[in-house]
């Protein structure tokens, strides 16, 4: 590895009740002693749970690596646009 990172910026729009969950590979790669992985499908199925709950479930399943979970939600609060008096029921998040 050269120490140089390649990244792409992404802008997402979260509408009321939308949720964005980030997790490290330690969640999906958590494994029981039998070798069964926590897996992507199980992680996706619980992605609406609080971040601490997701981390705890993966840790209890069988932690083999660091586990980090971060979740962001748009709670639907409306903001007034001062220029047009329109209500803007969304939030924008910029990820780099």
Task: Tell me how many degrees the CA angle 30-27-39 measures, rounded to the nearest 5.
Answer: 70
Q: Do 64 and 80 share a structural domain? A: no
List, for residues 7-23, the tens digit of each pLDDT value.
677 777 777 778 889 99
Q: Do 23 and 42 share a structural domain? A: yes
Q: Do 64 and 26 share a structural domain? A: yes
User: What pLDDT, on the 0 to 100 scale, is given for residue 84?
Assistant: 42
Q: Do 83 and 68 share a structural domain? A: no
DSSP alpha helix (H) spans, the chain: 25-28, 39-45, 51-62
Boundaries of domain holding 33: 19-73
User: What pLDDT, on the 0 to 100 scale, is given for residue 10?
Assistant: 78
List, for residues 22-63, the tens digit of each pLDDT value.
999 999 999 999 999 999 999 999 998 999 999 999 999 999
Q: Do 23 and 69 share a structural domain? A: yes
Give yes or no for residue 1 having a pLDDT over 60. Answer: no
Buried b / exposed e over 33-64, threshold 16 CB at 10 Å, is: eeeebbeeebbeebbebebeebbebbeebbbe
Q: Do 44 and 89 share a structural domain? A: no
Domain count, the chain: 2
Q: Do 68 and 25 share a structural domain? A: yes
pTM: 0.68
Q: Do 46 and 11 share a structural domain? A: no
Confidence of residue 80 (pLDDT cuts 50, 70, 90): very low
């Amino acid at each position: 590895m050269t120490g140089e990172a390649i990244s792409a910026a992404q802008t997402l729009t979260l509408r009321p009740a939308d949720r964005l969950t980030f997790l490290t590979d330690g969640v999906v790669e958590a494994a029981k002693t039998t070798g069964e992985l926590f897996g992507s499908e199980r992680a996706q199925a619980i992605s609406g749970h609080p971040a601490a709950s997701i981390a705890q479930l993966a840790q209890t399943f069988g932690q083999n690596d660091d586990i980090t979970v971060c979740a962001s939600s748009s709670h639907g609060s409306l903001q007034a646009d001062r220029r047009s008096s329109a209500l803007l029921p969304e939030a924008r998040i910029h990820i780099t």
